[in-house]
Structure 1
Amino acid sequence: MKFLSLALASVLALGIQTSANAAGPASTTTSIQQIRNATAKITYGDTVLLVDPMLAAKGAYPGFPDTYRSELRNPTVELPFDVGQVLKDVDAVLLTHTHLDHWDPAAETLIPRKMTMFVQHEADAALLRGKGFADVRILPAHVTFGGVKISRVAAQHGSAAMFQVEPLATLLGSVTGFVFQKAGEPTIYLAGDTVWTGDVRDAIKRYAPDVIVLNTGDARVKGFDTGIIMGVEDTSRVHALAPTAKIVAVHMDAVNHMTVSRADLRRYVREKALQDSVLIPEDGETLNF
């Protein structure tokens, strides 16, 4: 079974229960289910939040132009289960931004129009309202939904040098990260599509998250030798700053322009002896905290 891997061994060593090895009901109420790419379900008790849904079938879209392996079609893998299961029990959808690999036409079609939708700014809100979504909310600095406090954290989708180049700067656009908090439950920081910045560092110091979700696929655009999101070395950087936090590494093996795979990151984690801190969930896997 695919979960009987080094990644699962690391999880078991941490004492974190996954859906693949659970002998009974989870003893905790907070979980993250990796769906595919950057799509995840975060559950705090009875509140279920779906982040960045990309719901299309494998190969539905062309590769992103002027990026690494642009000849591949996206997504490069299927969802781990049907869309009905992805959307089951979801109370709200949160978008870090509206790039295709975080919000696609399939999600736009399949998510109920009455679903509560949280977005970063008016442009994204207008996009969703124009498609008929009735409950679109622009996230302030902090908001509470379903007993979960959600805070926005600044993110930067590429290097400073990239943002000096038009139209690349416009294409990369603005993005956001989220911090989720609930009394008596672990604090989760979902960094989103960002490179390492002072805002990321400050968020980790300010919120002292128990769990940090990093997009570590190191996506690349042509003409630059650094990524537009984090990569393997960022797991070490985050671990050094937050040594007791569990790092959940996602956004790999699903879209064309990722240069880091789960296998790559697992090798790095072994080399750096980070197995007790870095979790690399498979698609469909649930981590209970």
Structure 2
Amino acid sequence: MNLQLIRNATLIIDYAGTRFLIDPMLAPKGTYPPFTPSKRDDIKNPIVDLPESVDAILEGIDAVILTHLHLDHFDDKAKEVLPKSINLYVQNEADAGEVQKAGFTNVHMLNNEQFNGIQLIKTKGKHGRGEILKRTGTVSGIAFKHENEKTLYVAGDTVWNEEVEEEILTHHPDIIVVNAGDNQFLEGGSIVMGKEDVLQTASAAPEATIISTHMEAVNHGTLSREELKNTATEKGLQSRILVPEDGESYTF
């Protein structure tokens, strides 16, 4: 398995001979308005450029997986450049309808699917706590399983909660990708994991490696890579909680 962070939650995952693109946000720096209301409403999104060209990112992609359809996970640029016939997996019928409206013709729903012999299992999550969930809506993650690979769990846009704990207990992942920018609006609290959420994830899966993404890429993020690295080091978890730069990759 090779896993590369592109930017924000956009990943390229080479798994059992298949190349997946996860949650593509592909527009240049500053293309979209800020997510509001936040502490940095004066900064357009994305706040950094891609680490490589769009053509390089799309090369050899076999399937695209969308955990949900928020702009920072599936943007207008992705809709424009992705082949309309590509294998595209979504979380539910509502999302399937939206991507079909955008012209995609080979749309599947994640529900314990098989693709090239790889088991793709939709996982649950909560995009925040309390009232903010009315705004953030339904999200998902994915567990990847194959007899020749380690089990991978991409948690998606979720805070730590009983559903994430249940997925860990169910799938026993070796690698867990968490969206850990502690993104927040002015009211409603965190809508993805912050430092404490990442630590709880590491505690719940003591044998797993944690990869922290969705950082330093959109205006409502509040947790820096440096701060999370420092926290991991303070807890003696720096070898288990990895915090990649954009473009960085790992092989497992």
Q: TM-score range by the shorter chain?
A: over 0.9
Gaps of at least 5 residues in structure 2 are: none
Q: Distance in 2 between the 1:146 and 1:217 partners?
A: 32
Give the Å deviation of 1:180: 0.4
Pairwise mapping of residues 98-247 of structure 1 onto structure 2 (< 5 A)? 98-140=69-111, 142-163=112-133, 169=134, 171-224=135-188, 226-247=189-210
1:71, distance to aligned residue in structure 2 (A) = 1.4
C-alpha distance in 1, partners of 2:104/2:168?
33
Q: Does 1:95 align with 2:59?
A: no
Give 1:270 shift: 1.3
Tell me the secondary structure at the aligned position of residue 123 of structure 1: helix
* Equivalent position amino acid for 2:231 in 1: Y
The residue type paired with residue 66 of structure 1 is: P
- 8 Å contact from structure 2 (residues 160, 201) kept in 1: no
Cα distance in 2, alignment partners of residues 161 and 56 from structure 1 = 30
**Counterpart check, 1:58 vs 2:22:** no
Q: Distance in 1 between matches of 2:222 and 2:248?
A: 22
Which position in structure 2 is the counterpart of 1:72?
43
Match in the other structure for 1:26: none
Query: Whole-Å Cα distance in 1 between the matches of residues 239 and 130 of structure 2?
Result: 33
Following superposition, the deviation at residue 274 of structure 1 comes to: 0.7
Separation of aligned partners in 2, 1:271 and 1:216:
17
- State the TM-score, normalized to the length of structure 1: 0.85
Instruction: Give me the identity figure in percent.
Output: 42
SS in 1 for 2:124: strand
The letter of the residue matching 1:197 is N
Kept in 1, the 8 Å contact 2:16–2:149? The answer is no
Q: How far 1:157 moved relative to its partner?
A: 0.5
Which of these two proteins has the greater Rg computed from alpha carbons?
A: 1
| 1:124, distance to aligned residue in structure 2 (A) | 1.0
TM-score normalised according to structure 2 size: 0.97
| CA–CA distance in structure 1, aligned partners of residues 202 and 154 of structure 2 | 15
Runs of 4+ residues over 3 Å off in structure 1: none
- Superposed CA RMSD: 1.0
Residue 155 of structure 1 contacts residue 193 of structure 1 at CA under 8 Å; is this kept in 2? yes
